[in-house]
Structure 1
Amino acid sequence: MQVAKPQDRGLDPARLARLSDWMDRYVAERKYPGSSILIARGGEEVYFNATGQRNIEDGLPFTRDTLVRIYSMTKPVTSVALMMLVEKGLFHLDAPVSEFIPEFNDMQALVPGAVRIDQTEACAPPTLHQLLLHTSGLSYPFNPGLLGRKMDEEKILFKPNDGPLADMAARVAALPLSFVPGTSWEYSVGIDIIGRVVEVASGKSLAAFFAEEILGPLGMSETGFSVPAGAGDRFASLYTPLAGDAMALNSAETGGDSLRLTDRAGRSPFEAATMHSGGGGLVSTIDDYMKFAEMLRKGGSCEGGRLLSPSTINFMMRNHLPGDIASMGQQSFAEQPMVGTGFGIGGSVVLEPGRVGVPGNVGDFSWGGMASTFFWIDRVLDLTAVFFTQLSPSSSYPSRAELKALLHGAVIA
């Protein structure tokens, strides 16, 4: 990516410098161990900054080539993989997932008002579209409700040492759905199930499909389900302000050290992953992920060819819900605001910035990860931004809203 002067791309350098002050403050206040941000406009880099540490215990700085867990920022990659297969005419989005994973035949959903996990009614299996949109009735262990608690009891989270993917998908199918598919919205492991569909439909492991069809053409040589060989000590450690499990949002307790070490580089399951989690398994560098985000901004093209057509990208970046996420009624953890925000294929879509309460434009497409990473694409401003840090959960601080406000405050043309 070529580098341009911010002022030549309609950005005020002095106002952009507020970003570094903000990042330094988060480190000084022990909110984040360290962080980095990369901003491009019109396909040219206009700003990069890194601060703090990737590994506090060893005193290693957070640098441009630091490798991080991107968690749910894996979801857009998996969504692209599925749409690549859709473009080949192998299936359509309204196909039931049971056509690819037979364990999803004969599904049950919790009845409204259920107080026990066995209070269910028969329902149709989720479609691929519903899995992509989080309207499938699946859930996450950290969500409130009967299904979330049951998943927590059975430790269904698609962690990097939970492989293989086919076995975990079958375990998910054995549980009832939280609701009849299509009737509500709940953040879920649906994209992990989509990852398994990609494997079945393509005849390749998800890791192989990513490497050959997406990461290779994009030149994302340091992105994968395991820390790449030869990375040395560039893999960041993960921290949390919670007293217990960094993913246990239902029983979160704070107090004491705001940067508790929860997954140390050198001893992490991400260094030899057995699970190919399409919902949250990738590690990456900020330059690698910018290549992916820029491919979306450019309508599916990249230096290595074309992954998707502009028409398909436009389809993905539209709101596929009947209204905003909040109107879908289900209580759920979400990486982004739910009011004024819709959901497309692979990420959220701003419907009305005023209702979201964050500066932006209609159509802004974005998603984040549990370790507080974030990216967004503003096609009105022709702008792409990627932010990396390593603190879980992502709901700890309002950093994403603050970041968007800071960047919009620097756009002057």
Structure 2
Amino acid sequence: MPRFFLVSLCLAITSPINVLGQNIQTTAPAAASNQSVTSEALEGLGRAVEHYIGKDYAVGAELLVLHKGQTLYHESFGYSDREDKRRWQNNTLCNIRSMTKPITSAAAQILIDRNLLHLDDPVAKYLKSFDNDESKSITVRQVLTHRSGLPLTNLTKPDQYSSLTDQVAAGGGKGPEFEPGSKFWYSDLGTDVVGALVEKVSGEPLHDFVKRELLDPLGMSSSLYGIDADDKRLSQAASLYLKVPTGWLPFWKGDSKPFYPFAWGSQTIYSTTTDYAKFLRMMMNGGRVGDRQLLSAAAVSRMLAPVSRAKMMQSDTLAPTEFRNLEVYYGQMMVTYRVIGKEKEKPVVIGHSGSDGTCAW
């Protein structure tokens, strides 16, 4: 199996490039000529991103490619803030959006392994806001696999609710849009429910649990939940832009009010290429970090096991892939690419992407 790994933190890039990957660690760059990927291929990858920047398809981008534990390529392009003329630097902090989802799932898996949370229990066992005729049949497994019937979101603005509990309670009160378990339907709200379950079962805020149980042991010291206005690291985060007919419209800057009012399960984490690589390395190593079993092998298997063919957001259309002979599946908050007809075998690619243009495979 190829042992490449790519982490891309790209600001508003429209077509992220995927590279096969597994078994990574952060090390000094290695000579590509000694690997099964050539320097010419890596330089071509960089030229492709430069093309995006030159055509104004993106404001800034960063690419990190690792192979067999060595960094083959790590370059940055464009600006992290165009108005301030702040060039994108390697390991610029980014809002990774839905790349938060696998980390939220890993937090839930820890509680499952501790026998505090159970996959086939109704969510209503833990969250009373789901104990009603509309939502009482939704299970923990279903919210972990985007099969709960809940909509993409119940938000009209980020600060609509005062807490994660209130945010998911509104969704539980309204109920699913189709029969729970009947099909895959990508749902931020469902993942926020997972985050609320972690809070309820652990008895502490989601961001505190994740920091202690995952971010700190993984050495993800640059990663944070972007909810604290006093955290000076946010001021250096890549600015957010919206694409409009006249170009890129500044939407959020790191020295503005935090984009998120509190930790969500579906998003909220800000991270760097190097930090997120540590999380996926742990997944590739069966949950191990050095000599410590941080996440059980069973938990990793649950997250990676194919449950549904992945579909486009708010659609029943299957997610496309440019990989020949591969299909895209979704497990418990992890995307996996598998050989057609061999979906029960080990995945060829694992990872997730985020709606601001970030991706890691």
Shorter-chain TM-score tier: 0.7 to 0.9
Distance 1:329 1:51 in 2: 28
| 1:6–1:46 CA contact under 8 A, matched in 2 | yes
Q: Does 1:234 align with 2:233?
A: no
Distance apart, 1:340 and its partner CA: 3.0
Q: Secondary structure in 1 aligned to 2:63?
A: strand
| Alignment correspondent of 1:351 | 338
TM-aligned CA distance change 1:274 to 1:232, over 3 Å = closer
Distance 2:313 2:333 in 1: 21
| 1:224–1:282 CA contact under 8 A, matched in 2 | yes
- Name the amino acid aligned to 2:55: E
Q: Secondary structure in 2 aligned to 1:269?
A: coil
- Name the amino acid aligned to 2:258: P
| Alignment correspondent of 2:173 | 174
| Alignment correspondent of 2:215 | 215
Distance 2:240 2:314 in 1: 30
Distance apart, 1:276 and its partner CA: 0.7
Q: Does 1:318 align with 2:305?
A: yes
| Alignment correspondent of 1:300 | 287
What is the root-mean-square deviation in Å for CA atoms of aligned residues? 2.6
| 1:93–1:128 CA contact under 8 A, matched in 2 | yes
Q: Secondary structure in 2 aligned to 1:77?
A: helix
| 1:124–1:181 CA contact under 8 A, matched in 2 | no
- 194-203 or 223-232: which moved more? 223-232
| 1:187–1:332 CA contact under 8 A, matched in 2 | no
Q: Does 1:136 align with 2:144?
A: no
Q: Secondary structure in 2 aligned to 1:18?
A: helix
**Structure 1 unpaired stretches of 5+:** 109-122, 142-150, 243-254, 355-360, 377-413
Q: Secondary structure in 2 aligned to 1:370?
A: coil
User: TM-score, normalization: structure 2?
Assistant: 0.82
TM-aligned CA distance change 1:363 to 1:99, over 3 Å = farther
- Name the amino acid aligned to 1:54: S
Distance 1:91 1:367 in 2: 24
1:359-404 CA-partner distances (Å, limit 9, x unpaired): xx9542121111010011xxxxxxxxxxxxxxxxxxxxxxxxxxxx
Distance apart, 1:312 and its partner CA: 2.6
Distance 1:333 1:220 in 2: 35
Q: Which residues of 2 match residues 11-410 of structure 1 at below 5 A?
A: 11-108=37-134, 124-141=136-153, 151=154, 155=156, 159=158, 162-188=161-187, 189-226=189-226, 229-231=231-233, 233-242=235-244, 255-257=245-247, 259-270=248-259, 273-303=260-290, 305-321=292-308, 324-326=309-311, 331=315, 337=320, 340-352=327-339, 362-376=347-361
Q: Secondary structure in 2 aligned to 1:197?
A: helix
| 1:341–1:350 CA contact under 8 A, matched in 2 | yes
| 2:280–2:351 CA contact under 8 A, matched in 1 | no
| Alignment correspondent of 1:392 | none
Q: Does 1:2 align with 2:1?
A: no
| 1:217–1:303 CA contact under 8 A, matched in 2 | no
Distance 1:21 1:304 in 2: 39
Distance apart, 1:232 and its partner CA: 7.1
The count of residues paired between Structure 1 and Structure 2 equals 324
TM-aligned CA distance change 1:295 to 1:100, over 3 Å = same
Distance 2:123 2:348 in 1: 29
Q: Secondary structure in 1 aligned to 2:151?
A: coil
Distance apart, 1:54 and its partner CA: 0.2
TM-aligned CA distance change 1:209 to 1:182, over 3 Å = same
Q: Could you tell me the percent identity over the aligned residues?
A: 27
Distance 1:225 1:160 in 2: 15
TM-aligned CA distance change 1:45 to 1:162, over 3 Å = farther
| 1:131–1:191 CA contact under 8 A, matched in 2 | yes
| Alignment correspondent of 1:400 | none
* Structure 1 residue ranges (4+ consecutive) displaced by more than 6 angstroms after TM superposition: none
- 205-214 or 261-270: which moved more? 261-270
TM-aligned CA distance change 1:352 to 1:194, over 3 Å = same
Q: Secondary structure in 1 aligned to 2:74?
A: strand
1:122-150 CA-partner distances (Å, limit 9, x unpaired): x6421111101111011124xxxxxxxxx
Q: Secondary structure in 2 aligned to 1:341?
A: strand
Distance 2:258 2:82 in 1: 19
Distance apart, 1:337 and its partner CA: 3.4
1:59-108 CA-partner distances (Å, limit 9, x unpaired): 00111131110010000000000011111122321111111101101232
Distance apart, 1:306 and its partner CA: 2.4
Distance 2:314 2:97 in 1: 23
Distance apart, 1:333 and its partner CA: 9.1
| 1:353–1:362 CA contact under 8 A, matched in 2 | no
| Alignment correspondent of 1:357 | none
Q: Secondary structure in 2 aligned to 1:342?
A: strand
Q: Secondary structure in 2 aligned to 1:231?
A: helix
